[in-house]
């Protein structure tokens, strides 16, 4: 038998990601998205696939070419699928008849269209569109002549003028529009100088549910309210009380209740998201999970899956029960709930569920599921028995020829008696008696969670002969409200001690670890912590900091979120420079002796590249071992959704640095 090969960074070109399963109301027909990276074209390609979950035949591809086709949504009668495709450059809404034939383009919006939602009678599709005031919903299909490309000044008069996802604001507002399926006539449901996010359509067709922040002064406003828009008169009615952040609004089949996810920002962005129910008859909103410490939704960190969507609660046909995803102790799991407040786990294994669809049924669901040594596939979940049946095996050939590392869960107690949880990966082809280097990985957020999911970066390091340690220090999601809030105001405090306790635990309990060959890396908050660690200990022989923060004082003014995130997380602002500097890794640069590789994207507006530049120049000025790698045309999301060649270069830089200093 031929020995399996080890994984490489370049295998991202071989791996396929499946996501966003959508089960039709008949409970049998399922459509989903499969995404691959095209090496020669250096881009992503996504396609719709169909499978009958009862017959479990091989999936059938429904779209073709090099485009990204995504967001499939069934018509109420299950005879058509609406989806978004960029085959005509900008993403537009298309509809496909399940009996066959070419997909028909329904929109020609100048800035693209997204998020299709069917009307209950199947005659219209609502969608989101970005428009300038007075701009038309339609544009010519013909290629526009090249416009004058001379640079023009950017006028800025508000603080929220840029975002890492969208770059500089160009005057567009996100509106809700609709298109008639037969006539292809379009119209707007919202307008004005506000952004509206489409949620759902009421079962009787009278209302479209949207979320928006209609505050006049938005620079200091961090709200998301749920509104009902009358589909005929366009009148808006607010359901929430501007007390926090609410969204993911879904209707019960009888139209009596609206379920939504949200919180009232008691702990700023560290507040746990909960389930809320709005009673249409009583006109009252109540929090269904107010007494629970369970985090609703999927907050797991990964670097592989493409096209996963944010889910609200999925109602059953009985109008009082529903399913939802929850983040819990290193897993994302499926829960069953009722209007009476009952909560029961329906799938509680060690896994990452990053997709869920029920088609409105209560007896079974389709889940997208990943584990540390399984990139991801679709499964049928039989709710009564808890049995899982595999529907897809998209990476079967790859997994047959490639060996992956397993992740062993660890639990330990911190130096101040907090329970902590994480994983350790042995190197691939590990032999008893070996002494191997260890790399500590630190996640971003900080309010996120490492999980039982596939992580390509970890697998690549394990394939190179490294043990990989990763934990969820305080500040992470999945372990209750007190735990996630504990990091605020204490960056570099107990969170740092948690990570050092984890390293101590690993060395004491795994005799294969060579404590003289330790490396550390992380991105965003994990990059901050990497910088902090090497300024406070010399136990690590190599470090790689990614998209990091080094100076909270400058971060305040240059990040797209700096002026409020600094206040929320450090609990300080420019009126207290001393505190900001005390929490800045740059303040400890004289103590940094660990060779440091700095990876940063040129268009990172979340943690701008000047954070990397400051640290690099300070280290080089002190004759320290440091190197800076700048990634062009990339933002904060480089490791997850950046250009394929840059993602692979990043992985090879990380491995190369550790190979140089730990071997």
**Which residues are the active-site residues?**
524, 636
Residue 260 to residue 272: CA distance in whole angstroms: 14
Residue 313 to residue 277: CA distance in whole angstroms: 10
- What does the chain come to in residues? 663
| 250, two tokens | 């879904």
Residue 201 to residue 84: CA distance in whole angstroms: 18
Candidates 522, 502, 505; CA nearest to 455 is 522
Candidates 355, 249, 293; CA nearest to 484 is 293
| 565, two tokens | 């995130």
Residue 49 to residue 655: CA distance in whole angstroms: 35
User: Which residue is associated with the tokens 């404590």?
Assistant: 515
Question: Which neighbouring-strand residues pair with 627?
Answer: 597
**Beta strand ranges found along 39-172 (DSSP E):** 43-52, 60-61, 69-74, 80-85, 92-97, 104-105, 113-118, 124-131, 162-163, 167-168
User: Which residue is associated with the tokens 């070996």?
Assistant: 434
Axis-axis angle for helices 494-509, 525-534 (nearest 10): 70
Q: CB under 8 Å to 117, separation ≥6 — which residues?
A: 73, 125, 126, 127, 198, 199, 200, 201, 208
Chain centroid offset of residue 122 CA = 31
Candidates 94, 24, 28; CA nearest to 65 is 94
Q: Is 143 exposed, middle or buried (0-12, 13-18, 19+ CB in 10 A)?
A: exposed
Candidates 373, 395, 383, 526; CA nearest to 455 is 373
Axis-axis angle for helices 456-463, 644-662 (nearest 10): 40
Rounded (5°) CA angle 599-604-606 = 110
On the question of a cis peptide bond just before residue 446, with omega within 30 degrees of 0, the verdict is yes
Residue 336 to residue 161: CA distance in whole angstroms: 41
Question: Which neighbouring-strand residues pair with 442?
Answer: 522
Phi/psi for 616 (5° steps) reads -60, -50
- Report strand pairing: 321-328 vs 343-347: unpaired
Candidates 414, 575, 407, 382; CA nearest to 504 is 414
| 457, two tokens | 């970066």
Q: CB under 8 Å to 51, separation ≥6 — which residues?
A: 30, 32, 57, 58, 59, 60, 378, 391, 392
DSSP H helices in 233-342: none
Asked if 547 and 599 count as a contact pair (C-beta separation under 8 A), the reply is: yes
Residue 194 to residue 196: CA distance in whole angstroms: 7
DSSP run (H or E) holding 621: helix 610-621
């Amino acid at each position: 038998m031929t020995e399996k090969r080890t994984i490489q960074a370049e295998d991202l070109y071989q791996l396929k990601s499946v996501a966003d399963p959508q089960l039709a109301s008949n409970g049998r027909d399922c459509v989903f998205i499969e995404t691959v990276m095209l090496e020669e074209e250096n881009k992503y390609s996504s396609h719709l696939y169909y499978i009958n979950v009862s017959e479990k035949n091989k999936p059938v591809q429904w779209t073709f070419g090099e485009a990204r086709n995504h967001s499939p949504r069934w018509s109420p009668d299950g005879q058509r699928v609406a989806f978004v495709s960029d085959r005509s450059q900008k993403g537009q809404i298309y509809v496909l008849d399940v009996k066959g034939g070419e997909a028909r383009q329904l929109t020609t919006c100048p800035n693209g269209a997204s998020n299709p939602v069917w009307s209950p009678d199947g005659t219209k599709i609502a969608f989101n569109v970005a428009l300038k005031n007075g701009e038309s919903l339609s544009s010519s299909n013909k290629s526009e002549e090249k416009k004058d490309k001379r640079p023009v000044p950017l006028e800025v008069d508000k603080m929220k003028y840029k975002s890492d996802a969208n770059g500089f604001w160009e005057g567009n507002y996100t509106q809700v529009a609709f298109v008639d399926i037969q006539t292809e006539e379009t119209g707007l449901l919202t307008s004005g100088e506000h952004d509206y996010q489409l949620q759902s359509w009421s079962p009787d067709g009278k209302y479209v549910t949207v979320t928006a922040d209609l505050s006049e002064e938005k620079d200091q406003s961090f709200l998301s309210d749920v509104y009902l828009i009358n589909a005929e008169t366009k009148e808006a009615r607010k359901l929430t009380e501007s007390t926090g952040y609410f969204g993911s609004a879904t209707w019960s089949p009888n139209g009596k209740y609206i379920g939504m996810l949200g919180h009232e920002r008691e702990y700023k962005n560290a507040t746990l998201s909960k389930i809320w129910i709005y009673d249409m008859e009583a006109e009252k909103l109540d929090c269904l999970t107010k007494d629970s410490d369970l985090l609703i939704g999927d907050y797991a960190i990964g670097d592989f899956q493409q096209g996963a969507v944010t889910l609200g609660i999925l109602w059953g046909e009985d109008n009082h029960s529903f399913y939802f995803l929850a983040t819990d102790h290193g897993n994302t799991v499926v829960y069953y709930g009722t209007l009476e407040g009952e909560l029961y786990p329906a799938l509680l294994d060690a896994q990452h569920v990053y997709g869920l669809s029920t088609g409105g049924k209560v007896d079974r669901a389709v889940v997208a599921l990943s584990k540390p040594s399984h990139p991801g596939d679709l499964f049928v979940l039989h709710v009564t028995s808890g049995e899982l049946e595999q529907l897809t095996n998209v990476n079967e050939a790859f997994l047959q020829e490639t060996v992956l590392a397993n992740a062993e869960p660890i639990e330990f107690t911190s130096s101040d008696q907090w329970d902590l949880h994480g994983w350790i990966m042995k190197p691939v082809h590990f032999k008893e008696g070996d002494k191997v280097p260890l790399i500590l990985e630190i996640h971003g957020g900080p309010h996120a969670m490492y999980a039982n999911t596939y992580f390509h970066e970890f697998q690549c390091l394990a394939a190179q002969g490294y043990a990989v340690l990763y934990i969820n220090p305080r500040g992470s999601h999945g372990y209750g409200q007190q735990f996630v809030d504990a990091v605020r105001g204490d960056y570099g405090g107990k969170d740092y001690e948690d990570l050092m306790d984890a390293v101590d635990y690993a060395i004491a309990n795994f005799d294969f670890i060579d404590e003289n060959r330790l490396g550390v890396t992380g991105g965003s908050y994990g990059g901050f912590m990497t910088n902090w660690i090497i300024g406070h200990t010399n136990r690590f022989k190599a470090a790689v900091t990614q998209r990091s923060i080094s100076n909270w004082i400058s971060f305040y003014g240059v990040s797209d979120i700096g002026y409020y995130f600094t206040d929320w997380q450090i609990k300080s602002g420019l009126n207290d420079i001393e505190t900001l500097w005390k929490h800045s890794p740059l303040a400890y640069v004289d103590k940094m002796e660990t060779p440091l590789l700095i990876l940063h994207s040129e268009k990172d507006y979340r943690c701008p590249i000047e954070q990397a530049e400051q640290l690099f120049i300070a280290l080089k000025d002190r004759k320290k071992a440091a190197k800076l790698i700048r990634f062009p045309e990339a933002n904060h999301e480089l490791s997850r959704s950046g250009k394929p060649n840059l993602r692979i270069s990043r992985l090879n830089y990380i491995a190369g640095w550790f190979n140089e200093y730990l071997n």
